[in-house]
Amino acid sequence: MGVVMEMTADTRAVLEDFTSRERAKDNIIDNYRHFARANYVPFAPDTLIGLGPRGVLEWSAVSSMVRTKTAKLVLGEFDQISPAERRRFRFVRSVVVSSTEWFVDLAAAPVMDVAAIKREIEKRFEGINFVGAIEPGFYPRWHELGMKIGAKVSWHAHLVVYTDDLDALHRALEGHCGTHRGPLFGVPSATDIRRSWKTAARWIAYACKSPAHSYTTRRIQEGWSPTTGVFQPEHDRQKRQDLRPGEHVKLRNVMRNFLMDDLLVSGGEGTKLLLPVYARMAVDRDQAHRRYRRPGDRSSEWSR
């Protein structure tokens, strides 16, 4: 399937909203940088590596322009899914996959073996149609046993699954929950929520976004829920809030060594949605290869 530049009105609206949100994050970073310079706050320029033209050509996961380009290509291919295929793959789910093994200190997050996470997810959901991305979630104040441990990063994956075999998806989720414990007490390491084809584009765009929230947790004691009247066991409840400017910088610093294709995951028919992304990556990287001289290369071919 080829990419059609003309999207449906609904998909175009999703992309426009996505683009405006990514630009807003860039504005937060720019304002923070100018504030830091004006107030003589130490600010490492390499924290924002990947935001320049070279980062776009190399598809750095830090760049919001790369995120927008990825969302545009994936959504363009998403619109090519025929009505017959949509009727065939009638079950649409958004899935979040996490693990305590992917829950690390902030200092260790930049060297996380994301490739191993990607391989495990693709193997776990083998034979199931899905597309999504891996991203870091930020916990600025993590507590264990009543003690403040410090900032933590939870690498996790947002997936959009469309299938005609819901039992296969449930087996995959149960298999992951059986071998991995979630970072939140009493909360499964893999969850799915029922979606529809009308909202699938929105959740694909959500998977392509750069991090936007930080999370805090509190322990809920077992008892009867005042809202549902159902007895609930002891568990952690998670609350999210917008990232602060300094937290945006910290997470971009976490991702600065990763390229976008390091974080993208897919399986089954969902792999077709990423083909135009990989094709564009090949073209841009060839352009970057010709434009920028590599360290130690004395060939005149690399001169600007």
Query: Where would I find the beta strands (DSSP E) of 164-211?
Result: 190-195
- Strand-pairing partners, residue 192, are 95
Which amino acid belongs to residue 223? G
Q: Is 235 a member of any domain?
A: yes
What pLDDT band is residue 43 in, cutting at 50, 70 and 90?
low
Host H or E run for residue 217: strand 213-220
Q: Is 123 a member of any domain?
A: yes
Residue 89 DSSP SS3: coil
What pLDDT band is residue 40 in, cutting at 50, 70 and 90?
low
124-147 per-position pLDDT tens digit: 999 999 999 999 999 987 766 555
Contact yes or no for 32/246 (Cβ under 8 A): yes
Residue 186 DSSP SS3: coil
Residue 97's alpha-carbon distances to 21, 143, 208, in angstroms, are 24, 22, 15
pLDDT at 49 exceeding the cut of 50: no
Which amino acid belongs to residue 147? M
Residues 6+ apart with CB under 8 A from 93: 160, 161, 162, 163, 169, 192, 193, 194, 195
Domain containing 137 equals: 9-302
Gap between the Cα atoms of 238 and 285, Å rounded? 40
Looking up tokens 């630009």 gives 23
Question: How many residues in total does the chain contain?
Answer: 304
Gap between the Cα atoms of 122 and 115, Å rounded? 11
Which pTM value belongs to this model? 0.85
Q: Which of 214, 245, 206 is nearest to 152 (CA)?
A: 214
Q: Is 273 a member of any domain?
A: yes
Q: β-strands 130-144, 103-105: how paired?
A: unpaired
Q: Is 160 a member of any domain?
A: yes
In the chain, the number of structural domains is 1
pLDDT at 122 exceeding the cut of 90: yes
205-220 per-position pLDDT tens digit: 999 999 999 988 777 6
Residue 202 DSSP SS3: helix
Q: Is 2 a member of any domain?
A: no
Tokens at 58, concatenated: 């190399």
51-98 per-position pLDDT tens digit: 556 677 889 898 889 999 999 999 999 999 999 999 999 999 999 999
Residue 18's alpha-carbon distances to 82, 91, 204, 212, 262, in angstroms, are 24, 25, 11, 12, 21
Q: Which of 204, 232, 207 is nearest to 220 (CA)?
A: 232
Q: Is 100 a member of any domain?
A: yes
238-252 per-position pLDDT tens digit: 788 999 988 888 888
Q: Is 91 a member of any domain?
A: yes
Q: Is 3 a member of any domain?
A: no
Gap between the Cα atoms of 126 and 190, Å rounded? 16
